[in-house]
Amino acid sequence: MSTERNAAAAATAIIGQKVLPGREREYESWQQDLNAAAAHYPGFLGAEISPPTPLQPDWVVVYRYDSVAHLQTWLNSGTRQTYLDAGAAYFDGPATQQVVSSGIRSLDPLVTVVVTHRVAPHHVDDFLDWQHHMVEEESKFEGFRGTELFRPVEGLQEEWTTLYRYDTAEHLDAWLTSPERREILAEGEKFSDFRLRTIDNSFGSWFAFGGDGKDTPPPPSETRTSLAIWVGLYPTVVLLTLALSPLHLRLWIGLLVGNLLSSFIMSFLTMPYYVNPLLGRWLRPPPDEPAARSNLRGLGVVAVVMAFWAAVFYLVTVRFWTLP
């Protein structure tokens, strides 16, 4: 979706839903229609659907709006309630819902755990101290990538919500089953009434538009994805080939080293700092932008950029420097 809007106070709802066996396809189609309806409400930034995995037994839907007020308008809307009534035939029990309000990266390519606690007002200070101790310990474990704590959202959610992330399911499991965590949980016995859900997020990092709450999953069109990768891959590979050519590596070792380096360069430099800023509006167009206009603009940018690189590399490798 659009990455132009200010998401400094973005609000995110994470909804988990068990689906009756055999009704998965119908549910997914229904959920896509519901997400399309959500896009027509003010402040909409994006919506994602993540199917169950071994780590994540529920279907998970994420809504992002530019404010709590706009998110609340959608969640409480008659439109959504009408859809929920129609979709009840697919549900295996009630849904779970967490709401966080910040410019955070709600779901990223890491394994994300969502934990909610009900905290009595007179225990808030103790809870915050206990959470601080929890973070100190979990940050010592391999693969830890960060945590965020969110206060209750008035009118939407009474619980405190914690998001923490690890790079792999194995590293997460090491923390969840560790004696250190059991000891801390015992210390916070009065906060033992909590819910924990792991989200095994498969969305890649190549199409993450920044770290301020505006991340989105890969573009829905495989054609757009392929073209975007092509726009980044061509200059990356050619420049890397030129850089390695003085080494006169044999083909097998040259490709081995070149492929490794190009993978890192694409992931950490080319895609986040070149392709995504250049093609972000085309990869995730605003919901109100006509598809024809978006495609025409995006394909035009791709054509111009690739013609530019082709001309540059022709001059470099044929006119100024003789290479194949």
Q: What secondary structure, in 3-state letters, does the chain show? A: CCCCCCCCCCEEEEEEECECCCCHHHHHHHHHHHHHHHCCCCCEEEEEEECCCCCCCCEEEEEEECCHHHHHHHHCCHHHHHHHHHHHHHECCCCEEEEEECCCCCCCCCEEEEEEECCCHHHHHHHHHHHHHHHHHHCCCCCEEEEEEECCECCCECCEEEEEEECCHHHHHHHHCCHHHHHHHHHCHHHCCEEEEEEECCCCCCCCCCCCCCCCCCCCCHHHHHHHHHHHHHHHHHHHHHHHHHHCCCHHHHHHHHHHHHHHHHHHHHHHHHHHHHHHHHHCCCCCCCHHHHHHHHHHHHHHHHHHHHHHHHHHHHHHCCCC
pLDDT digits (tens, 9 = 90+) for 108-154: 456 777 888 888 888 888 888 888 888 888 888 888 877 778 788 76
Q: Do residues 247 and 308 both lie within one domain?
A: yes
Looking at the domain assignment, is residue 243 inside a domain? yes
Tell me, what's the pLDDT at 4? 34
Which of 189, 218, 247 marks a domain boundary?
A: 218
Cβ atoms of 165 and 146 within 8 Å: the answer is yes
Are both 86 and 207 inside the same structural domain? yes
pLDDT classification of 255: cutoffs 50, 70, 90: confident
Same domain, 69 and 213: yes
What rounded mean pLDDT belongs to the chain?
Answer: 79
Averaged pLDDT, 292-296: 82
Of residues 308 and 214, the one with the higher pLDDT is 308
Instruction: Look at residue 211 in the predicted model and tell me its pLDDT.
Output: 40
Residues 105 and 15 in one domain: yes
Task: Express as a percent the part of the chain with pLDDT over 90.
Answer: 12
Residue 234 belongs to a domain: yes
Domain that holds residue 274: 222-320
Distance CA 57, CA 186 (A): 27
Contact (Cβ atoms closer than 8 angstroms) between residue 60 and residue 15: yes
Do 295 and 211 have their domain in common? no
Place of tokens 């391999």: 142
Considering the domain architecture, whether residues 67 and 211 belong to the same structural domain is answered as: yes
Say if CB 14 and CB 97 are below 8 A apart: yes
Give residue 275's pLDDT.
Answer: 87
Closest CA to 11 of 154, 145, 144: 154
pLDDT at res. 106: 41
Res 155: pLDDT: 66
| Residue where one domain finishes, among candidates 218, 249, 274 | 218
**46 plus 90 within the same structural domain:** yes
User: For position 234, what pLDDT does the model report?
Assistant: 92
Domain count, the chain: 2
Residue 175 near residue 166 (C-beta atoms within 8 A) = yes
Across residues 278-286, what is the average pLDDT? 75
What's the pTM? 0.47
Same-domain status, 210 and 248: no
Place 223 in a pLDDT band, splitting at 50, 70 and 90: confident
Q: Bigger pLDDT: 37 or 157?
A: 37
Residues 314, 210 share a domain = no
Q: pLDDT tens digit string along 26-71?
A: 999 999 999 888 988 888 888 888 888 776 778 888 888 888 788 8
- Mean pLDDT, residues 287-315: 86
Is 65 inside any structural domain?
yes
Would you state the structure tokens that stand for residue 320, as one six-digit string? 């100024």
pLDDT in tens, 166-183: 877 788 888 888 899 889
